[in-house]
Amino acid sequence: MNILEVENLKIWDINTGKVIIYNSSFNLKQGSCLAIVGESGSGKSVTCRSIMKLNRPWLHQSGDILFKGENLNNLSEKEMRKKRGRNLCMILQNGMSAFDPSCVMGVHLKETLVQHFGWSNNKIEEKMKDALESVMLKNPIEMMNKYPHQLSGGMLQRVMIALALVLEPDIIIADEPTTALDTISQFEVVEQFIKLRERMGCSMIFISHDLGVVRKIADDVLVMKDGKIIERGNIQTIFSEAQHEYTKYLVSTKEALSNNFKKIMGRSYFAES
Interval 164-221: pLDDT, tens: 999 999 999 999 888 777 777 888 888 888 888 888 888 999 998 888 889 889 999 9
| pLDDT grade for 266, boundaries at 50, 70 and 90 | low
pLDDT at res. 258? 52
Q: How far apart are the first and last CA of the chain?
A: 30
Under a CB-based contact definition with an 8 Å cutoff, are residues 180 and 153 in contact?
Answer: yes
Least confident of 61-70, 107-116, 177-186, 200-209: 177-186
Q: What is the mean pLDDT of the chain?
A: 89
Q: Which pLDDT belongs to residue 3?
A: 97
Given a cut of 90, whether residue 63 has pLDDT beyond it is yes
Q: Which amino acid, one-letter code, is at 152?
A: S
| Average pLDDT value for residue range 85-108 | 88
| Predicted pLDDT of residue 147 | 95
Confidence of residue 119 (pLDDT cuts 50, 70, 90): very high
Inform me whether the pLDDT recorded for 149 exceeds 60. Answer: yes
Say whether pLDDT at 41 is over 60.
yes
Does 67 have pLDDT greater than 60? yes
21-25, 74-78, 182-186, 261-265: the lowest-pLDDT one: 261-265
Confidence band, pLDDT 50/70/90 cuts, at residue 273: very low
Residue 39 pLDDT > 70: yes
Cα distance between residue 217 and residue 235, in whole Å: 9
User: Of residues 42 and 93, which shows the higher confidence score?
Assistant: 42
| pLDDT at residue 270, rounded to an integer | 47
Cα 199 to the chain's mean position, in Å? 17
What pLDDT sits at residue 259? 52
pTM over 0.75: yes
Report, as an integer, the average pLDDT of 90-112: 88
Residue 100: its pLDDT value, please?
87
pLDDT the model gives residue 209: 83
Q: What is the CATH number of domain 2-265?
A: 3.40.50.300
Task: Quote the pLDDT of residue 24.
Answer: 96
